[in-house]
Chain A
Amino acid sequence: MNASAWHMLMEGAWTTVWISGVSIVIGVTAGLMLALIRLARIPVVDQILVLYISLARATPLVTLALFIFLSAPTFGINLDRNVAGILALTLNTTAFNAEIWRSAFRNFSRDQREAAMAAGMTPWVTFRRIMLPQMMITSLPGLINEMSFLIKGSPAIAVIGIVDLTRVTNRISAVTYEPLPPILVACALYMAAIGCLVWLQRIAERRANRLAV
């Protein structure tokens, strides 16, 4: 591989990292918000969310990305392909994250919540100061699992023309006729990204031990 091939690979890696990163940040936060809204059990809203979650969980990423990118013009929206890619990844991951957060809510200690209420905390203070810090730690294994699924599923966005880390290896080998080197480097880069997540998870686990009462 020559310098320009390396340059292309790095560009592809960067595309994968930033698009996945943005989707993860939005997806984790949006998932938490959906879980909160679902707790309120607002009639119609709740059914819509249930429908969204089951649809999003049942749709392959490639299909979702294509659908979003191709259907946008029908609604008169001129969607940038990066935005469409982020939207597809986010819609997909949010649904899974919402379920992870929801189970963290459901399993949260009633005893601790009662202690917070008895101390005069409002539900919001209880959530912010008592529940969320612990839920972040207990949900992290599930969330990180979902993040690594997202990164590994991200080549799906190539279907709408985004040149990500996987797609770029194709382009390089089309010029060099040597498909193996770029694909090997790409694998290593994916592993590095997932490795970072696993390392984060280990730190979280160390902190989680403290929560064992």
Chain B
Amino acid sequence: MFEKNTSERVRSEQTATGAARSERAAVSIRHLSKSFDGVEVLRDVDLEVREGDVVTILGSSGSGKSTLLRCINWLEQPDRGSIHIGGQRIGVNDAGRPMPVRELARVRARTGMVFQSFNLWPHLNVLHNVTEAPIHVLGKSKAEAEAHARELLEKVGMSAKADAYPGTLSGGQKQRVAIARALAMQPEVMLFDEPTSALDPELVGEVLAVIKDLSAEGYTMIVVTHEMAFSRAVSDKVVFLDKGLIIEQADPETFFTNPSTERVRKFLEREES
């Protein structure tokens, strides 16, 4: 599994160098539906994310954006439909039965997730937050994991805080550590669940800058966000969810200047004001 990850990483790095983007699907979602207590949160959602693409998901609160993202790594279990990550179906095995936990964990490890409220592990310092899963899930040696973690902390500008505990960090710093933690698993796709929504306004910029850098490096990313300017700047594709339906899917230029639905036009007007 490890070798496969590496080869896929090489491929996505090739796309970063400006070559034509891969046509391979990093994430492929088909006919996804999900209800909570009889309320349909996702309705027959189809979404294809190609390797190296950055897709941002927009929509008002309650539109199902976070649920869609959380279905991708099976933190929520959809009622119907399928999700493939790098060609591997998640949550359901070949026999059509729910995946055993170990297998599910292995597929989950191919994705990295960044949460709205950071969700760092408070008993571990910054460095160990980043090395924990590589050591105990991928089976990396401590030395190897720490060397990689220090590189990643450098990348997100947090290397000076490697020995600090999460409780002593600001929200923006926590989120940058959380990003390094997710990257440490060398995931094929990064999932961001409103990564700046819990931050003080003056801290939003530092986190968005890190995500922008990652998009320039060719990472495949799916970002649920309320930051319109950011979405416009980094996306290859913008997806708009309304009441659990994808009602618009377009490149950022078209989406922000010439949306095809009245609903999106209203949404954009409200965001601007």
Contact = CB atoms under 8 A, between A and B. Distances in A.
B122 A129 contact: no
Contact of B115 (A111, A121, A130): A111
A212 B110 CA distance: 30
B121 A115 contact: yes
B167 interface: yes
Given A211-B123, A213-B166, A117 B136 contact: no
Interface string B45-68: 000000000000000000000000
Contact of A210 (B115, B122, B133, B178): B122
A119 B109 contact: yes
Contacts of B132: 119, 129-130
B121 A137 contact: no
Interface string B110-146: 1111010101111100000000110011100000000
B8 to A, nearest CB: 16
B113 A133 contact: no
Interface in B146-181: 165-167, 178, 181
B243 interface: no
A129 B136 contact: yes
B121 to A, nearest CB: 6
B185 interface: yes
Contact of B108 (A118, A133, A137, A211): A118
Contacts of A129: 132, 136
Contacts of B117: 111
A116 B73 CA distance: 12
B24 interface: no
B137 A114 contact: no
B106 interface: yes
B180 to A, nearest CB: 12
A123 interface: yes
A210 B121 contact: no
Nearest to B100: A122
Contacts of B108: 117-120
Contacts of B166: 213
B76 to A, nearest CB: 10
A201 interface: no
Contact of B101 (A109, A122, A212): A122
Contacts of A121: 105, 133, 136-137
Contacts of B136: 121, 125, 129
Contacts of A133: 123
A112 B121 CA distance: 6
A137 B137 CA distance: 24
Contacts of B181: 115, 119
Contacts of A29: none
B123 A120 contact: no
Contacts of A134: 121-123
Q: Which 5 pairs show the lowest CB-CB distances between chains A and B?
A: A120-B109, A115-B119, A119-B133, A118-B113, A111-B119
Given A119-B185, A213-B166, 5 more contacts: A109-B119, A115-B119, A118-B73, A120-B109, A130-B132
Interface of B: 73, 75, 101-102, 105-106, 108-113, 115, 117, 119-123, 132-133, 136-138, 165-167, 178, 181-182, 185, 191
Interface of A: 109, 111-112, 114-123, 125, 129-130, 133-134, 137, 209-213
